[in-house]
Amino acid sequence: MLRRALYNGARHHGGKLAPLFLLLGIAMLCLLPVLRTRKIYVDENAVNQMHPSTNAGSVTAHLDPTVRWPERLVRGRRSPGSEIAAVYVNTDYPASVSLANALIEVIRHRKNLACDVQFYFVNSSEEWPVPQAYTRAALVLNISTLYNRHICIDTLGGNGIQPNQDYTNTAVQLATSNQFLPSYLCQRPHRPTDNVGAELWHYWAYLEASLQLPTHPQPWHKIPTHSINTIAISSDPLFTVRSTFPSPQVPDAFATMVLQIIVSLNNLEEKFHHSTFVWLPVSPLRYVEYDHAQFCIMLFVASIFSTAYSEYQQRGASITPLFVVLLLTPVAAAAAFQVAGWGAVVIASAAFSLLFRVFMTHTKSGMWLSFNAIALCLLIILQPACGLLAGAAAAIQVFFTHSVLQNRPALAVGAAVSALLAYYFIYYLRLPLFGVAGISELFVSFVIYPNAVWIGSRFLCSL
């Protein structure tokens, strides 16, 4: 009886639930960083020493900016020889080289390291090598000055993939205990400042930074993050000049912090045990669990399917290959931009909508909405941050094809909102009209922009 009641309810009223699913998804997306955050912690089963007492001492005498070797393996006195911790040193910055040389001298005299430390001296223009030995984790030294306590801990790899949270939390805790001020947002272009007190702002900025990664790739993004947990420690460009303290205590603190991170990896038993590989920080010390945030994407998918079902209930279904033409619109729009800039993009987009209004006036949207939903489902695994931010936009766009909104005022609002959302991703976030460098670029190019064109064509059909 219950099964039949649920079936009949979904059959007759499933199309009416789209607004509810959409509103719940948006509300959950915005309220999670306010109401459902956790303080960072380190799994005690993964790291023996959460706060190593290791101190590098004074390293001033060893701060040599000379690159002596392309690679340097420092043996641990208790290492079996089969495991390493990799340290990539960006030789574009003499400060990073100086710190690495000082660390090598300090580590050489330690007698309790249970893993080898492999240093790679590389620059940003060359291919970074991938270790052949089993690598517990990789640390990138991308430091431009040793006299500034404002640092970045870059956790985002290719397509927004993050390292195990234990590793990042350890780095943040050790940075804080050594009186550094870490930030997660240094990979965000055009970053004016860090509003540490605004958790929603920090959370949203981190999502934006994840989407924007393909537009400013870093050398360490090519390190396979699915097998090697990687973080990068960089100087914060917002504070490089105005917060410099020419004191030997700051380089000593840098050396101690990095040494403590390496020692934490040295004390690692087996592998990282922390189950969280995707999390959404609302500050360096608090985060939202993806276990909760992923339900936002599920609600957006449910809203899209409900919208498609509402149209099916009213007009039936149709299958046409003409929707493939929608996937060509970002290519043509990108070509128009190369020829005459943003004005040409606006004109081309209006022309595309007019063409779809002429040739696909009576075509139903169900097939295109199904494509949206399937693409969004894939983002749950491929790039969660894109699924949250761009998924919300896609769900809002296609909601205006709902059967109850098939009137001129509603479609006019839908066309404007869809165009505004496309503007946000393409112009404000600087994602390309036609981009294939990452998952976020693909989704914006082949879902967000075509959605705006399609909703515009539905508005023209109502005129």
Question: What is the mean predicted confidence (pLDDT) over 52-78?
Answer: 80
Find all residues with CB under 8 Å of 221, minimum gap 6, and list them.
157, 158, 213
pLDDT for 97 equals 93
Q: State the Cα angle at 455 between 314 and 307, rounded to 5°.
A: 35
Q: What is the DSSP letter of 62?
A: G
CB of 251 closer than 8 Å to CB of 60: yes
CB of 66 closer than 8 Å to CB of 97: yes
Question: What is the mean predicted confidence (pLDDT) over 284-296?
Answer: 89
pLDDT at 382 over 90: no
Question: What is the mean predicted confidence (pLDDT) over 205-221?
Answer: 87
pLDDT at 275 over 60: no
- pLDDT-derived band at 377 (thresholds 50, 70, 90) equals very high
**For 402-450, what is each residue's pLDDT tens digit?**
888 888 899 999 999 999 999 999 999 999 999 888 899 999 999 999 9
- pLDDT-derived band at 290 (thresholds 50, 70, 90) equals confident
- pLDDT-derived band at 80 (thresholds 50, 70, 90) equals low
Neighbours of 226 (CB within 10 A): 9
pLDDT for 12 equals 55
Q: Longest Cα pair distance anywhere in the chain, in angstroms?
A: 80
Q: Which amino acid is at 182?
A: P
Question: What is the mean predicted confidence (pLDDT) over 82-102?
Answer: 90
**For 305-343, what is each residue's pLDDT tens digit?**
999 888 877 766 667 777 888 899 999 999 999 988 899
In whole angstroms, give the CA distance from residue 30 to residue 28: 5
pLDDT for 9 equals 56
pTM for the structure as a whole: 0.87
Burial (Cβ within 10 Å: 0-12, 13-18, ≥19) of residue 389: buried
pLDDT at 269 over 60: no
Return the percentage of the chain with pLDDT > 90, whole number.
Answer: 33
pLDDT at 243 over 80: no
Instruction: Say which residue, 226 or 309, is predicted with more confidence.
Output: 309
| Helices of type H across 194-341 | 199-212, 249-266, 290-315, 329-340
Q: State the Cα angle at 106 between 104 and 111, rounded to 5°.
A: 110
Mean pLDDT of the chain: 84
pLDDT for 53 equals 64
pLDDT at 11 over 90: no
pLDDT for 440 equals 92
